Chains A and B, each alone.
Chain A
Amino acid sequence: MNESFKRGAREGVRLMLPMSVGLIPWAIVTGVAMRSTGLSVVESLGMNLIVYAGTAQLGTLPLIAAGAPLWLIFVTALVLNLRFVIFSAALAPAFHGASWSKRLLSGYLLVDGLFVLCADRLLRADDPHWRWGFYVAPALLCWSMWQLGGIAGILGAGVFPKDWSLEFMTTIALMVMLVPMVRQRAMLVATLVGGLGAVLLRGLPLRLGVIAGIALGIAAGFVAERWTEKRRQAW
């Protein structure tokens, strides 16, 4: 193994360690949520491995529970993961010259915390060996923490009595993700319109109300942003 790869890996792991430990509560909650939705132990472990994206996992559980059609679950997961397209576009130059298998692995492992902590230094580094170490080592650390926490939640979920409404943990987890996002007015508008839209349109067939609500929310946020900008310019 290359010396600068090891150096990059060490620096990356040191940087990521605190945040990766912070993934454990999330992983446990997601594990419990999958089991209380009705997934078996094997199915839950499979979901954690195949999907490896907390928001998409938690967000699709209510749809799986409701027996929603496959394409609707797919589109919802896609929307929940859309932010990664932005991360992926920003990080792409750091994988210049990397093999296809490395790129595929990097894509699978690209979680929020990794982008937040590593993107800046990754894009400024010239040495491809250092870059690969600095990316893949903390990425695998996050992955391991997520899987370990998930296993704890999946196996531990049976400890709680069945009538404890544990499926509400999914809603709580999604709320904890949503609250810090709502910092500006346009984001608040997108949130309110998305939520109320989904409630008012719940009568649509195939649970289309969720997708319709999301589309309305995105449009409303975009319009609100334009509107606040115009008002600011008018002053």
Chain B
Amino acid sequence: MVEGVWLWLTLLAIGSTTILTRGSFVLSGEGARLPPALQRALRYAPAAALSALITPDLLLDAGAFDPVNPKFAAGIVVALAAMRSRSPWLPFIAGMGVLLVLRKGLGW
């Protein structure tokens, strides 16, 4: 866990990316343009980044590769809920529900 002054520095660093990206062209003026190839590659950045953050949490159990674990089961339910329903709450209720039942109810 990052703590204390380091945490605040970290928050400022994360916050600086908000200004750097959102402000980039708004601040530098309308003359600048983004190269088309870069623009196309950037389209894949959010999906790749989100997946790189999510997948280890779903497929690893205590650091070891183990796809048969409660979080992966809950993850499948979350994906189905997010695909099928427009309710913003359902994936959270369903995902946390499955995880809690498996961990606390069944002791997995």
Q: Interface residues of B toward A: which range?
A: 35 or more
Residue contact A82 to B14, C-beta cutoff 8 Å: no
Residue contact A175 to B54, C-beta cutoff 8 Å: yes
What is the chain B residue whose CB lies nearest that of A197?
B52
Residue contact B103 to A214, C-beta cutoff 8 Å: no
Residue contact A78 to B20, C-beta cutoff 8 Å: yes
Residue contact B45 to A82, C-beta cutoff 8 Å: yes
Query: Which of chain A's residues have a CB closer than 8 A to the CB of B82?
Result: 175-176, 179-180
A222 within 8 A of partner (CB): yes
A152 within 8 A of partner (CB): no
Which residues of A, 102-151, contact B by the 8 Å Cβ criterion? 103-104, 106-110
Instruction: Given A82-B46, A179-B82, check contact A194 B52 (CB 8 Å).
Output: yes
Instruction: Given A70-B10, A213-B48, check contact A106 B42 (CB 8 Å).
Output: no
Which residues of A, 51-104, contact B by the 8 Å Cβ criterion? 51-53, 55-57, 59-60, 62, 64-68, 70, 73-74, 76-89, 91-93, 95-96, 100, 103-104
What is the distance, in angstroms, from A174's C-beta to the closest C-beta of chain B? 5
Instruction: Given A46-B8, A168-B96, check contact A107 B19 (CB 8 Å).
Output: yes
Q: Interface residues of A toward B: which range?
A: 35 or more
What is the chain A residue whose CB lies nearest that of B54?
A174
Please, what's the 1-or-0 string for B42-65, where 1 marks a CB less than 8 Å from any CB in chain A?
Answer: 111111111111111111100101
Residue contact B27 to A110, C-beta cutoff 8 Å: no
Instruction: Given A46-B8, A56-B17, A64-B10, check contact A25 B88 (CB 8 Å).
Output: yes
Instruction: Given A70-B10, A85-B42, A171-B71, check contact A191 B30 (CB 8 Å).
Output: no
Further 13 A-B residue pairs, CB within 8 A, beyond A199-B60, A217-B47: A51-B18, A76-B49, A79-B49, A86-B42, A96-B30, A177-B46, A182-B47, A190-B47, A190-B48, A191-B48, A194-B47, A194-B52, A222-B40
- Taking beta carbons and an 8 Å cutoff, which residues of A are in contact with B? 22, 25-26, 29, 37-39, 43, 46-47, 50-53, 55-57, 59-60, 62, 64-68, 70, 73-74, 76-89, 91-93, 95-96, 100, 103-104, 106-110, 163-166, 168-169, 171-182, 186-187, 190-199, 202, 209-211, 213-218, 220-222, 225
- Taking beta carbons and an 8 Å cutoff, which residues of B are in contact with A? 1-2, 6-30, 32-34, 39-60, 63, 65, 71, 74-75, 78-79, 82-83, 88-89, 91-92, 95-96, 99-100, 103-104
A to B CB contacts below 8 Å, 24 in the list: A46-B8, A50-B11, A50-B15, A74-B16, A79-B45, A82-B21, A83-B46, A87-B22, A88-B26, A92-B28, A107-B23, A173-B92, A176-B91, A177-B50, A178-B51, A178-B54, A182-B47, A193-B48, A195-B52, A199-B56, A210-B52, A214-B45, A214-B49, A222-B44
